[in-house]
Structure 1
Amino acid sequence: MKEEKPDPRLAAIGEKIKRLRVTKGYSSYESFAFDHGLPRVGYGRHEKGANLTMSSLLRILDIHGVGLAEFFSDLEG
């Protein structure tokens, strides 16, 4: 069975999500997820570059008050 390599664009999205969390003053993704009613395990995977649904991304961006255009403006891929 061939193992697929992770998509580097997903990793970049995960890093951006993590930066937004840290900017809000949260050192722990678990605390952030708990405080905002997000599933902790799923949120942690998103920060590590796991595939996420558009609705999950939109929910995270709404929490941060960031629009799609702003979020993707400095991502390369």
Structure 2
Amino acid sequence: MEKSKEELDKEILLVAEKIKALRVKAGYTSYETFAFTNDINRVQYYRIEKGQNITLKTLIKVLKIHNLTLQEFFKDL
């Protein structure tokens, strides 16, 4: 069964929220500081946390920063 656009958008936002929660848990109150410290384009990282333009390559890079695998990240999502 194919998911609707709304269902997909909701799932993407869940991923974005989890990425933001990881940043905050790591002690970064600002997405800009996190992006700068970890050599990620600030605008690109902002879009990731907003659920826009999340590429698999960038997701893997962010997860490596947090010492997580894809399996661990998606386990409780």
TM-score using structure 2 length? 0.87
Structure 2 residue runs of 5 or longer lacking an equivalent are none
- What per-residue deviation string (whole Å, max 9, x for no partner) do you get for residues 7-54 of structure 1? 111100000000000010000000000000000011011001113111
Runs of 4+ in 1 over 2 A off after TM superposition: none
- The structural deviation recorded for 1:74 is 1.0
2:43 is aligned to: 41
RCO higher in structure (CA 8 A, sep ≥6): 1
1:59 aligned onto 2:69? no
Amino-acid identity (%)? 49
* Aligned residue type for 1:41: V
Answer yes or no: is the 8 Å Cα contact 1:10–1:51 preserved in 2.
no
Quick check: which one's helix share is greater? 2
Answer yes or no: is the 8 Å Cα contact 1:18–1:47 preserved in 2.
yes
Structure 1 residue runs of 5 or longer lacking an equivalent are none
RMSD: 1.4
